[in-house]
Amino acid sequence: MDLVREAFHYQSRFAGSTMVFKIDFPVTAEPAFPSLVKDLALLAQTGFRIVIVPGAKEWIDSVLTEYGIRSRYINSENHNSIRITDARAMPFVEMAAFHGAARFMTALSANHCDSVIGNFVRARGLGVLNGQDMEHTGRVEKILVKPIGKVLDLKMAAILPCIGWSASGKPYNVPSGEIALAAAGALGAIKLFIVSAEIPAGQNNVKNLRLTPKEAETILELNKDPGALPDLRLALAASKAGVERVHIINGREEGAVLRELFSNQGAGTMIYTDEYESIRPLETQDIPDILRIMEPLMRQGILIRRSVEDIQEKKEDYWVFGIDGQAHACGALHKWEKQGEIAAIAVDGAYADMGLGSRIVRFLVNQASKESLSRVFVLTTQSHDWFETLGFTESTPETLPEERRKFYNPERNSKVYVLEL
Ligand SMILES: CC(C)(COP(=O)(O)OP(=O)(O)OC[C@H]1O[C@@H](n2cnc3c(N)ncnc32)[C@H](O)[C@@H]1OP(=O)(O)O)[C@@H](O)C(=O)NCCC(=O)NCCS
């Protein structure tokens, strides 16, 4: 039941928005592929604007091998290894690219979802790199947003194969990662999904990793091999290009896209643009500000009374939302065994309804997740409805950690709301 509730919440939040799916070619041969396409069809039918960028690399490799054409590659600063697509290879590359795209069209149509494979990408040749003529290897010049928009308006999925055409109609082989990146940016996609064949089946350690671009950058820096983690590299580039949320999903895992979209738990690695950048640890000089914010709420009994000393004592647990250097909202995460208590959420009245409160809560949930806590809970007398909108569900004082239960005040009779992580 909770799952259905969560799903409705996210459905209404995202419906009508554009999502781009870059899907590795080997995923199309996985047992999970039919259900992935079924989910994409469902999303398109329920009002999401679905853009698919099929990868074709492995299929191009096999077609070229079959026809006795050896691919040559070049390493460049930005691209790890790019295929030099010469005139002989190009017709085979086109054939392979459209074969990859057709797999999606066929599978979508079996799920009553129409789609259009189109020349939605204007490309330009890479020209000569380090003395090497790149011939038919190109890059995105622009994404043709209007025709894609028309297709999406009809609730059809738009499929962008890894081919782009120059203004004069010359075809170029363009890496699908670049097309996905450019399409997500140009279409104002709220999400880019990178459906990867790189993650081994059953591998769980990438689950629920929530990274800021800075954290992703650190991981990539630590990994000296420039060719390593191409999905993470692409995700970071997309996030820097303004895509709010980029998800790397295991293409072998059934239902991963829906889980990532419609549950609080998520299902893969996510890079989010740093909406939390204004949130920082509490400093001693913030205490008067946050007490000023809390005072009317404490007077009304909405928050329990806290003194300077109370806050100072647990200073490490507190975070503030700073605007122009001044704290305008706050919140705390207290740890009790494997659970986290979200407390002292308060927003300056002058900054109400601007999303500060929910951002602080999401931030604290994310912190709890990073610290491998199993759930977070909150005790509230008057804000339970608000916590419900953030995915929390009602529980009972009996479920509180033993140490915390000792301090539960039956007279105050706070409601207990929880979020499993
Ligand atoms: C609850 C609180 C933190 C919300 O902060 P905020 O920054 O204004 O909230 P957001 O901008 O993220 O969300 C605003 C939405 O929540 C709604 N909302 C705010 N307080 C609410 C409450 N107590 N119950 C239900 N909905 C509430 C607003 O009407 C608004 O709805 P809308 O988006 O449909 O217009 C803030 O009102 C507050 O400081 N309350 C007192 C302290 C408190 O109750 N803390 C929780 C216990 S620790």
- Spell out the SS3 assignment of the chain: CHHHHHHHHHHHHHCCCEEEEEECHHHHHCCCHHHHHHHHHHHHHCCCEEEEEECCHHHHHHHHHHCCCCCEEECCCCCCCEEEECCCCHHHHHHHHHHHHHHHHHHHHCCCCCEEECCCEEEEECCEECCEECECEEEEEEECHHHHHHHHHCCCEEECCCEEECCCCCEEECCHHHHHHHHHHHCCCCEEEEEECCCCCCCCCCCCCEECHHHHHHHHHHCCCCCCCHHHHHHHHHHHCCCCEEEEEECCCCCHHHHHHHCCCCCCEEEECCCCCCEEECCHHHHHHHHHHHHHHHHCCCCCCCCHHHHHHCHHHEEEEEECCEEEEEEEEEEECCEEEEEEEEECHHHCCCCHHHHHHHHHHHHHHHCCCCEEEEEECCCHHHHHHCCCEEECHHHCCHHHHCCCCCCCCCEEEEEEC
pLDDT of residue 10: 65
Residue nearest to atom 41 of ligand 1 (CA): 346
Q: How far is the CA of 357 from the centre of ligand 1 (A)?
A: 7
Q: How far is the CA of 244 from the centre of ligand 1 (A)?
A: 23
Looking at the fold, whether 298 and 321 belong to one and the same domain comes out as yes
Looking at the fold, whether 283 and 298 belong to one and the same domain comes out as yes
Structure tokens at 402: 């033993």
Residue nearest to atom 45 of ligand 1 (CA): 345
Looking at the fold, whether 105 and 7 belong to one and the same domain comes out as yes
Structural domain ending residue among the three candidates 236, 251, 272? 272
Q: How far is the CA of 196 from the centre of ligand 1 (A)?
A: 38
Q: Measured in Å, how far apart are the chain's first and last C-alpha atoms?
A: 17
Below-70 pLDDT ranges, the chain: 1-13, 76-80, 200-208, 226, 263-266, 274-277, 324
Distances (CA, A) of 27 to 64, 146, 285, 393: 20, 29, 53, 36
Number of domains in the chain: 2
Q: How far is the CA of 359 from the centre of ligand 1 (A)?
A: 11
Q: How far is the CA of 63 from the centre of ligand 1 (A)?
A: 57
pLDDT of residue 205: 43
Kindly tell me the sign of the dihedral angle through the C-alpha atoms of 78, 80, 86, 91: negative
Structural domain ending residue among the three candidates 234, 250, 272? 272
Looking at the fold, whether 235 and 382 belong to one and the same domain comes out as no
Residue nearest to atom 46 of ligand 1 (CA): 345
* Residue range of the domain that includes 38: 2-272
CB 58 within 8 A of CB 176: no
Q: How far is the CA of 383 from the centre of ligand 1 (A)?
A: 7
Output the ligand 1 site: residues, CB below 6 A: 297, 302-303, 343, 345-347, 352-358, 378, 380, 382-383, 385-386
The closest-lying atom of ligand 1 relative to the alpha carbon of residue 331 is 48
Looking at the fold, whether 213 and 351 belong to one and the same domain comes out as no
The closest-lying atom of ligand 1 relative to the alpha carbon of residue 352 is 8
Residue to mutate (ligand 1; options 306, 380, 383; most atoms within 8 A of CB) = 383
pLDDT of residue 204: 45
Looking at the fold, whether 15 and 84 belong to one and the same domain comes out as yes
pLDDT of residue 214: 86
Looking at the fold, whether 177 and 293 belong to one and the same domain comes out as no
Structural domain ending residue among the three candidates 245, 272, 299? 272
Interhelix angle 230-240/213-222, rounded to 10 degrees, is: 150
Looking at the fold, whether 142 and 256 belong to one and the same domain comes out as yes
Residue to mutate (ligand 1; options 386, 387, 392; most atoms within 8 A of CB) = 386
Residue nearest to atom 5 of ligand 1 (CA): 357
pLDDT of residue 123: 96
Looking at the fold, whether 222 and 345 belong to one and the same domain comes out as no
* Amino acid occupying residue 255: G
Looking at the fold, whether 316 and 186 belong to one and the same domain comes out as no
Q: How far is the CA of 385 from the centre of ligand 1 (A)?
A: 9
For residue 228, give the CATH number of its domain: 3.40.1160.10
What's the pTM? 0.64
Looking at the fold, whether 144 and 71 belong to one and the same domain comes out as yes
Q: How far is the CA of 386 from the centre of ligand 1 (A)?
A: 6
